Amino acid sequence: MAKKAKKDTNPNHRLIATNRRARHDYEILETFEAGIQLVGSEVKTLRGGTVTFGDSHVGFEKEEAYIFDLFIPEYTYANQFNHEPKRRRKLLMKKGEILRLTSKVRESGLALIPLRLYFNKSWVKLEFALARGKKQHDKRESLKKADAKREIARAKG
């Protein structure tokens, strides 16, 4: 049921960071894209490629979507006009999509996990997924499958 991640071939996209831990800890069911409302010093820091996903997640407050706990360090040259590194950041999405996601998360106990952050031309975009947490035995099974694929590829050539 999970969609396979496609290689991003768009020449306008420049990858900032990926959340590699997300695919290990969660079963990805559906992916979404949204813009992020940022301040200038955050964009400058992102151009340098420094961001940490950590325990970040997407949540809802008053029918608006936010990303929580995304760590973007302070920009060293911004002095007094700097940003707070772990503040919540608003996601730019259509209201209908927000309502649909809210109902899915409440009903079935799924989570919204950020997968990657990238520039689309000059805009910063977040790709996040509707995901279900994996149990420990599921993680082991995933590792066994990946090892088997690697062995087959090694044997072929």
Domains belonging to the chain, first-starting first, are: 14-156 (2.40.280.10)
Read off the pLDDT band of 6 (50, 70, 90). low
**Contact status, residue 26 vs residue 110, Cβ threshold 8 Å:** no
Task: Report which of 119, 115, 124, 125 is spatially closest to residue 13, judged by C-alpha positions.
Answer: 119
121 vs 78: which has the higher pLDDT: 121
pTM more than 0.85? no
Read off the pLDDT band of 72 (50, 70, 90). confident
Among 1-15, 59-73, 99-113, 141-155, which is the least confidently predicted range? 1-15
**Contact status, residue 25 vs residue 134, Cβ threshold 8 Å:** yes
Residue 4 has pLDDT above 60, yes or no: no
**Contact status, residue 92 vs residue 79, Cβ threshold 8 Å:** no
Residue 114, classified by CB atoms within 10 Å of its CB into exposed (0-12), middle (13-18) or buried (19+), is buried
Read off the pLDDT band of 66 (50, 70, 90). very high
Tell me the C-alpha distance between 126 and 17, whole Å. Answer: 10
Task: Report which of 67, 21, 59, 23 is spatially closest to residue 42, judged by C-alpha positions.
Answer: 67
Average pLDDT of the chain, as a whole number: 85
